[in-house]
Chains A and B, each alone.
Chain A
Amino acid sequence: MRSRLFAGLLCLALFPVSLLAQPNASEDPILSTMSQEMNRSLGYLKKQPLAPYFLSYELTDNHAINVSSSFGAITGRSDRRTRLLDIDLRVGRYDMDNSHAVRGDFAMTTFGQLAGRLPLDDDPKALAAALWLETDRHYKEAVQRLAAVKTKNQIKKETEDDSPDFSSAPAEHHFEPIAQFSFDRASWEQRLRRYGVLFRDLPDVQSADIWASGELETRRYINNDGSEIRMSLPLYRLNLSASIKAPDGEVLPLYRQFMSFTPEGLPDDAQVLKVVGEMKSMLLALRQAPAADAYTGPAILSGRASAVFFHEIFGHRVEADRLKNDDDAQTFKKKINQPILPPFLSVYSDPTLHHLQNSDLVGYYPYDDEGVEARRVTVIDHGIFRSFLMSRSPINGFPSSNGHGRRQQGYDVAARQSNLIVESTKSVSRDKLKSLLIERVKAAHKPYGLLFDDITGGYTFTSRDLPNSFAVLPTVVYRIYPDGREELVRGLDLIGTPLIAFSKISAADNDVGIFNGICGGESGWVPVSAIAPGLLIDQIEVQRKPKSQAQDPILPAPGAAQKKEN
């Protein structure tokens, strides 16, 4: 989805929940039980020789309803409620506690550890019993871990970053009503059947998977500093993916993803049918498109493609927790107050932004998973690098959180992206950007430039023991010839290294693209958005996509065989 906007006139809207009538936290028996049990357990734990100095409970209720289909036949449906508990219990001191990283000590991290499972019913006794056991378990683990940290620190070389392990944060009180949630699964099943069946007549179609889901997530957070927070937000999703096989065997996928905080925010019937029609046309065109070769030269990234590009190659490198890890490449560690982008570009991370024009931004949240109020962070100001995204784990020069401590339930919190916004103060029209590209093509004596119009995602390596490179995986790429002609091609991945790629950005358009997605990282999967204008990059590099080794099925598809036999 692209919304045509002038980047300088981005309409920023704060989520209006804070303006709604505020119910009272004391009306929530679950929060009361959490608070009572925290106080009761802490009463005993404080008498131990090694007492906790910090304790938080985050209780996440999730109700998720899904329906999935293949070629219009329902393949799965589920309706599931979970309640998960994450406990952060710290012994020691802010400057060194049980969370302290030890070099080379991978096993000590809680990598994807399962969160404690709690009663789904709002039963205070059962909940208190579960909180009691989980708190005790975390306390014993924390004591053991701190002893290990102290021992290992004596025998291991200190890390480059000697900042404390945890920062203080003000107590917060925020209480939202439980959000309304309604997902009509039966109706979505009918819709998915209707949409999926339309793909059956595509020649050489490989897959046509469509799924829809609705989920309501309600988070309750308390800590022993007095914070008490309840947030409740639904998320509705519709995903369409289909693929077709080219004559040379390459399988060409296309994806369309829609996310919204309201059921009405998803496309209606007519809009989905239009999308299905566009996908079918594009798949047929891709099947006929020539396979492109490796290339270096100028290229345009459309707004959506630029958004993913920035999320991957920039966003992950400003998540501060990685800077504590000496094995990380720490691309921007020494770049504070230095130019790393052209002066017409600024980059913000703004989790308080609920929607942009007609699109909800799924990286929105009012408080992060450490009870810190979300805030807008200027990461790059007119090309100058200003700040990292911070959780409550400080790094040198950045002693406190800026509300970006996030996690999937069951994982340890880390600094993560929210809504990443790239703004340009010097934008041109899309047509002008194309003519600038053609100028660059001619100047460089290249036969053509490239336009990356749609992109499925990407990945990046940030550790030192691997080349510090990225790959962005486009699905729709055009060659732009000096005469202005556009030719669809297939089979390319955009690759490169971040600092060089940034230095080659030379212009931006006013065609802002929005990408909503679910991003995986050390602290699990979290919803994020990225917003960016189209960008002209003077030199990019592309390589051929890896080719599948799978042979075609031996027998023709059953339907095809039938038609032939008839």
Chain B
Amino acid sequence: MTTPSTRSRLLSVTLLLLWVALPAAAQKQDAVSRAMHDELSRSVARLSLPKLDKPYFIAYRVDDVHSAVISSTLGALTNSNESRTRLLAIEMRVGDYALDNTNFLAMQSLRWNRSGTNSSLPLDDDYDQLRRAIWLATDRAYKQAAETLAAKRSVLEHRQGGPALPDFSHQPPFKLEQPSANIKVDVPSLEQLARTVSAVFREFPNIYVSTVDISIRDAFTRYLNSEGTWFTRPSPLVMLNVAAQVRGPDGLPLQDSFQVFGENAEALQQANLVARTRKFAADLEAQRTAPKLDSYSGPVLFQGEAAAEVLAQVLAPALTASRFPITDQPQFEAQFQQVMSRFGGGSLADRIGGRVLPAGFDLADEPRTATLGTVPLLGGSQVDDDGVSTLEVKLVDHGILKGLLATRVPTEHSKLSTGSRRQLGPSPSNLILSVRGGLSEAQLKTELLAQAKQRGLDSALIIRRVGPAGLSWITKLMQSRMSGSAPLAAEVYRVFPDGHEERVRPPEVQPMTAADFKDVDAAGDTPFVYNGAYIPLATSIFGVLGGGGLGDTNPSLVSYVTPSLLFDDVSLKADAGPAPDEPVAPSPLAQSSAQGNP
């Protein structure tokens, strides 16, 4: 018979043995790697407090980030900030795989597992000071974790049943050493690019707010855990965001933006940005005077980029497995889940084995696919943020949902990790929707008009780009919070039975849900690649708070791939918000070629 104390001794021995098996490379590497190794080794062997649970899993993640953020408007810089940071995140789990300090949220004391909290490390490769900082952060993480587990046990004692699922899944050690990308962070040249691109807006005096933001990050991650996993991984990312606002004749602000992503600054230099920005600005001005459409309900063809935006905002968040943490307020758990589901925020977890897409549709997450034809996919990685080797995950096969993207936090429907932890929770990497027997764009348009006719409509809608507008409940909320008003879909065309198109200023698209995808009527035959952020479901945000795992400050980019999609019933309704007053004085830009004063 094994007593608890014998068990914990055995556990320590096992951990030590695992530790010995760590790659020799880590041990002879740079000061940061050595400090991580040495402090982890010591903590695994000796970190404990009498009468409290011991750590059974410790992970360190150190991110070296060289970054710059540059902003410009009308050809002049408004911000340029270059920085270097070195951040440590610690995942500290005490107890055991079955029951540990995570998946717990104490509402009354606002206590949750914050092991992913980042702390700063010295920028100098000073072994002694790195060790010191890691030692103190580990000590804090352990005390907090032990305290959290004690609180969790106390809550569980007063609940019926107790947790049915283990808190953490087992995983074999994984080793990968990738070199730093070491991309050039040439701030003066990026400043000049921002000035040049933003100066385009001087030609468009009706655009009263315009910004060009460039961010470049050369991030290098070192990860080490007590199971013997060790990886180093670069995450270079360059992003350019162009945003602008005009007012319609009725005073209503119209805003639009576009982004360009790449893995180095050359991606921006090659993106023909001046011409693209000029077209973007001209389109926005055209949008200003386009005829207004009051409301619409009927078939909508989301073409190219717009189809990918629907996939990203509406379907993708429902494909991840999240788990609501145990709280000390069971009523809150139940009410929160109900409220979230009512807003269409539920995942597809209970639809596994059922139809979620039409029969000819497949959907897979492919983190190891680097390109689609010649187009690079930017979401991939060989290892996820839990240190789990990534693999292709077939999510939907012939329209049937096969599984969800999962981390090492087991859920009712996903017991094992699919290698999908990115940042704080599960996320797709390169999400690829493929369709057998897709139609050409011309055939899709014909199909759209046929459906409109069936509905007795004199025209139908094609959306070519959604832009800053939100399509799901949560993205709508986020966008309106950020911009102060609900942005409208950027490029919407009314198409008439003779095939001619007319650009319109549309009302707001009503929130769509993942269930809408089951009724996609048709799809195109040409895949479109769109890069964007992943925005999780509101329900999974609480899962993240409780779920442990390491915080990642690197922005996570997902490549979404899909052909055009024809939905049979989408509603657009006017948002009756009051339009703000026009500025009292006209823009000085508009006046610069005319008279100076009124």
Contacts and interface: CB of A to CB of B under 8 A. Distances in A.
Given A47-B598, A561-B42, A132 B78 contact: no
A129 B42 contact: no
Interface string A533-566: 0000000000000000001011101110100000
Interface stretch (A35-43, A287-295, A305-313): A35-43
B139 A44 contact: no
B157 interface: no
Contacts of A555: 42-43, 46-47, 135, 139
Contacts of B85: 76
Given A117-B78, A121-B195, A558 B132 contact: yes
Interface in A123-149: 123, 125-130, 132-133, 135-136, 139-140
B124 A73 contact: yes
Contacts of A129: 73-74, 208, 587-589
B124 A558 contact: no
Nearest to B46: A555
B347 to A, nearest CB: 38
B129 A76 contact: no
B585 interface: yes
Contacts of A71: 128-129, 132
B17 interface: no
A79 interface: yes
A79 B128 contact: no
Contacts of A558: 38-39, 42, 128, 131-132, 135
A33 to B, nearest CB: 9
B583 A133 contact: yes
Interface string B575-588: 00000010111111
B292 interface: no
Contacts of A559: 128, 131-132
Interface of B is mostly: mixed
Interface residues of B, number: 56
B48 interface: yes
A125 B592 contact: yes
Nearest to B195: A121
B123 A77 contact: yes
A267 to B, nearest CB: 23
A200 interface: yes
Contacts of A43: 585, 597-598
A240 to B, nearest CB: 17
Interface in B160-188: none
Contacts of A200: 128
B82 interface: yes
A202 interface: no
A118 interface: yes
Given A39-B597, A43-B597, A118-B78, A551 B143 contact: yes
B584 A45 contact: yes
B138 to A, nearest CB: 8
A72 B585 contact: no
A76 B74 contact: no
A81 interface: yes
A72 B142 CA distance: 27
A40 B597 contact: yes
B6 interface: no
Contacts of A78: 81, 83
B77 interface: yes
B10 to A, nearest CB: 22
A498 interface: no
A45 B598 CA distance: 10
Chain A facing B: main interface SS: mixed
Interface in B20-49: 38-39, 42-43, 46-49
Contacts of A77: 84, 123
B587 A132 contact: yes
Nearest to B134: A558
A73 B126 contact: yes
B48 A126 contact: no
A263 interface: no
Nearest to A78: B83
A74 to B, nearest CB: 5
Interface string A36-64: 11011101110110000000000000000
Given A119-B76, A555-B43, A132 B132 contact: no
Given A44-B598, A119-B78, A554-B49, A133 B584 contact: no
A77 B82 CA distance: 10
B79 interface: yes
A387 interface: no
Contacts of B48: 554
Given A47-B598, A78-B83, A120 B76 contact: yes
Contacts of A79: 82
A47 to B, nearest CB: 7
B46 A73 contact: no
Contact of A40 (B38, B72, B143, B596): B596
A116 to B, nearest CB: 10
A80 interface: yes
A304 to B, nearest CB: 32
B448 to A, nearest CB: 41
Nearest to A130: B73
A80 B78 CA distance: 12
B533 interface: no
A71 B127 CA distance: 12
Contacts of A74: 122-124
Nearest to A121: B76
Contacts of B136: 553
A554 B132 contact: no
A82 B131 CA distance: 36
Interface string B59-91: 000000000000011111111111111000000
Nearest to B43: A555
B584 A48 contact: yes
A72 B126 contact: yes
A45 B135 contact: no
Contacts of A130: 73
B76 A123 contact: yes
B47 A554 contact: yes
B359 interface: no
B120 interface: yes
A193 interface: yes
A503 interface: no
B594 to A, nearest CB: 12
Contact of B585 (A118, A120, A136, A193): A136
**Most chain A C-beta atoms within 10 Å of own C-beta, residue among B126, B202, B585:** B585
Closest 4 CB pairs of A and B: A119-B76, A73-B122, A126-B76, A123-B76
5 contacts: A77-B123, A121-B75, A125-B588, A126-B74, A135-B585
Given A73-B122, A125-B592, 11 more contacts: A40-B597, A73-B130, A120-B76, A127-B76, A130-B73, A133-B583, A553-B139, A554-B48, A554-B142, A557-B135, A561-B42
Interface of A: 36-37, 39-41, 43-45, 47-48, 69-83, 117-121, 123, 125-130, 132-133, 135-136, 139-140, 193, 200, 551, 553-555, 557-559, 561
